């Protein structure tokens, strides 16, 4: 069964129809990359998956649970949305770390809030608090090791390179154990040599079976890391398939033009 089913998602901003019925499925452990020129709606799609935008129409099912359905009445309380968001981790182009916190605290912050909420809701007993906090700390340290930053635990974001900050952001997104990790152009703010280290981390995540949705302009990377690629154009899925099918596609003129235009997008 697919871990993610996205059905006929539509989103308008005023009269601007940005998503015109996007649909795709993703199996557990698969990596899907989304390519397409600027303004085609890639970020809006990711934002819809993460409840940063509410779609006007469509359905989103994660692991068999309907997390959004425009045909049903959705209750968007803050707690509800927070819970739904837990299915997805999101890593942005700009790393968005909290500047006032150390690397370790950046990663532990959201899981700590979850424990606090758990105690409030009585799903965690007060006497379990310290044990939970220890678990969160151990997990954060393990994630930092995974992204190669064990020596930066106590550093502040301003003391890190862009590539290091982005790797912290990846660890932070993983700390909440999302089903699906989403990236929105994770390397486009980075110099080429820093890009390499971030892409390496994403490739390592693929090896461990992470399910990922990646918006990228790095075509070589998309070709190497993807199980499937979606080419978006003007709010629709213009083409989709394996990397071989997408890069070998000679039928779709728009896709050809996009691929031939290199990195200008
Ligand atoms: N909050 C918003 N309010 C109004 N219009 C928006 C908003 N967010 C996005 N748009 C519009 O939606 C369209 C798609 O934008 P989006 O950011 O999804 O494109 P994109 O494919 O991610 O582009 P890029 O490759 O440049 O990041 C654009 O026309 C944009 O102006
Ligand atoms: Mg974008």
Which tens digit of pLDDT belongs to each residue from 65-123? Answer: 888 999 987 777 777 777 788 899 999 988 889 999 999 999 999 999 999 999 999 99
The reply to whether 4 and 83 lie within a common domain is yes
- Which ligand has the nearest atom to the CA of 265? 1
- 11 and 70 assigned to the same domain: yes
Which residues, judged by CB distance below 6 Å to any ligand atom, belong to the binding site of ligand 1? 13, 16, 18, 36, 38-44
Judgement on whether residues 10 and 79 belong to the same structural domain of the protein: yes
Task: Mark whether 162 and 185 lie in a shared domain.
Answer: no
Å from CA of 43 to ligand 2 middle: 4
Q: Are 58 and 123 contained in the same domain?
A: no
Nearest CA to ligand 1 atom 3: 13
> Which residue puts its alpha carbon closest to atom 8 of ligand 1?
44
What separation in Å is there between the alpha carbon of 52 and the centre of ligand 1? 13
pLDDT in tens, 7-31: 999 999 999 999 999 999 999 999 9
Task: Say how many C-beta atoms besides its own lie within 10 A of residue 177's C-beta.
Answer: 10
Same domain, 74 and 24: yes
Task: Specify the ligand 1 atom closest to the Cα of 41.
Answer: 18
CATH number at residue 43: 3.40.50.300
Angle at 253 between CA 251 and CA 255, to 5 degrees: 95
Testing ligand 1's pocket by substitution, the residue of 11, 19, 34, 42 carrying the most ligand atoms inside 8 A of its CB is 42
| Residue located via tokens 């309907």 | 66
Atom 22, ligand 1: which residue's CA is nearest?
43
Using CB atoms within 10 A of its CB, is residue 153 exposed (0-12), middle (13-18) or buried (19+)? middle
Ligand nearest to the CA of 38: 1
Same domain, 144 and 257: no
Q: pLDDT: is 195 or 83 the higher one? A: 195
Whether 165 and 242 map to the same domain: the answer is: no
Residues 191 and 62 in one domain: yes
Residue 12 sits in the same domain as residue 119 = no
Q: Dig out the tokens for 208 from the structure.
A: 């461990």
Cα(38)–Cα(24) distance, rounded to whole angstroms?
20
Average pLDDT of the segment spanning 131-135: 96
Domain shared by 262 and 187, yes or no: yes
Print the domain residue range for 185.
Answer: 1-87+179-195+208-265
């Amino acid at each position: 069964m697919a871990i993610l089913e996205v059905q006929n998602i539509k989103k308008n901003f005023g009269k601007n129809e940005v998503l015109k019925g996007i649909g795709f499925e993703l199996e557990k452990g698969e990596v899907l990359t989304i390519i397409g020129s600027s303004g085609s709606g890639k970020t809006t799609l990711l934002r819809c998956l993460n409840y940063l935008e509410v779609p006007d129409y469509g359905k989103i099912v994660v692991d068999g649970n309907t997390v959004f359905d425009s045909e049903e009445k959705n209750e968007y309380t803050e707690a509800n949305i927070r819970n739904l968001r837990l299915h997805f981790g999101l890593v942005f182009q700009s790393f968005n770390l909290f500047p006032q916190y150390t690397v370790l605290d950046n990663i532990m912050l959201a899981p700590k809030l979850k424990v606090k909420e758990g105690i409030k809701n009585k799903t965690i007993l007060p006497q379990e608090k310290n044990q939970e906090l220890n678990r969160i700390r151990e997990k954060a340290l393990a994630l930092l090791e995974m992204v190669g930053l064990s020596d930066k635990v106590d550093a502040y974001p301003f003391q890190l390179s862009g590539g290091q900050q982005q790797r912290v952001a990846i660890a932070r997104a993983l700390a909440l154990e999302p089903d699906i990790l989403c990236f929105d152009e994770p390397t486009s703010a980075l110099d080429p040599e820093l890009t390499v280290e971030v892409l390496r981390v994403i490739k390592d995540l693929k090896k461990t079976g992470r399910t990922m949705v990646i918006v990228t302009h790095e075509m070589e990377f998309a070709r190497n890391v993807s199980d499937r690629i979606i080419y978006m154009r003007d709010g629709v899925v213009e083409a989709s398939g394996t990397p071989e099918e997408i890069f070998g596609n000679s039928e779709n003129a728009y896709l050809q033009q996009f691929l031939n235009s290199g990195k200008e997008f």
